[in-house]
């Protein structure tokens, strides 16, 4: 190999990798969260009225946990530098906030006109 030939690492750009055990651990966590969602949706929510009113916020939280694990491990964002994480997460939070504000405003204008 000459000095100009780049060295390719099998373990990734940052020297950290997700081992087979780590992949299985994340898979089990995602499977458990999905099982809890199905348990609530198919068994608890239709049969218990008190749980039905809390089902949507619980779904949202569980979905956010699943999104974190998918982005962090399978999209390798956990192994990136902090500045790249902020460059992705902060604009996403601003977009979500903008959507919430615009949704609220559209509801206000809809009530005013009709």
Dihedral sign for Cα 97, 103, 105, 108, please: negative
51 SS3 class: helix
Is residue 79 over pLDDT 70? Answer: no
Percentage with pLDDT > 70 across the chain: 74
Average pLDDT over residues 78-91: 77
pLDDT of residue 4: 57
* Chain segment 8-63, per-residue pLDDT in tens: 444 445 445 668 888 888 889 999 999 998 888 888 777 777 777 778 788 888 98
Beta carbons within 10 angstroms of residue 47's beta carbon: 9
pTM of the model: 0.56
């Amino acid at each position: 190999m000459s000095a100009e030939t780049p060295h390719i690492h099998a373990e990734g750009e940052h020297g950290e990798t997700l081992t087979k055990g780590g992949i299985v651990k994340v898979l089990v966590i995602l499977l458990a969260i999905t099982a809890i969602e199905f348990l609530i949706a198919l068994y608890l929510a239709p049969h218990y009225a008190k749980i039905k009113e809390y089902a949507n916020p619980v779904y949202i939280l569980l979905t956010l946990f699943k999104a974190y694990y998918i982005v962090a491990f399978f999209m390798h964002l956990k192994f990136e530098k902090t500045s790249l994480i902020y460059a992705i997460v902060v604009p996403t939070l601003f977009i979500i906030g903008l959507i919430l504000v615009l949704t609220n405003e559209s509801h206000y204008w809809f009530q005013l006109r009709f």
